[in-house]
Amino acid sequence: MIGQMRHIGIVTNPAKDPGFVVTKQLSAYLQQRGLTVSEQVLDRTGGSEATVAEGIRRLRDAVDLIVVLGGDGTLLGTARRVAGRGAPIFGVNLGRLGFLTEAEQHEMYPALDDVLAGRYFIDERVMLDVALRRAGKVESERLAVNEAVVGKGPFARMIEVEVYVDGQHFATYPSDGLIVATPTGSTAYSLSAGGPVVHPNLDVLVVTPICPHTLYARAVAVSARSEIRILVVGQHEQTMLTVDGQEGEQLRPGDEILVRAAAVTTKLVRRLGWSFYDVLRRKFHEAGLRGEN
Residue of 17, 72, 176, 255 marked active site = 72
Is 113 annotated in the active site? no
Residue 289: how many other CB atoms lie within 10 Å = 8
Tell me the Ramachandran region of residue 25: left when phi exceeds 0, alpha when psi lies from -120 to 50, beta otherwise.
alpha
Determine the residue type at 84: G
Task: Return the beta strands (E) in the chain as ranges.
Answer: 7-12, 36-41, 65-70, 89-93, 103-104, 120-134, 137-144, 147-151, 159-165, 168-175, 177-181, 204-210, 220-223, 228-233, 240-243, 247-250, 256-271
Residue 277 and residue 285 in contact, taking contact as beta carbons nearer than 8 Å: no
Nearest residue to 224 (alpha-carbon basis) of 125, 86, 122: 125
Antiparallel, parallel or unpaired: β 7-12 and 65-70: parallel
Nearest residue to 199 (alpha-carbon basis) of 93, 122, 123, 88: 123
HSE-up of 69 (CA within 13 Å, CB side)? Answer: 30
Antiparallel, parallel or unpaired: β 177-181 and 204-210: antiparallel
* Angle of CA points 260, 262, 264, to nearest 5°: 170
Distance of CA 127 to the CA centre of its chain: 8
Antiparallel, parallel or unpaired: β 103-104 and 89-93: parallel
Which residue numbers are catalytic? 72
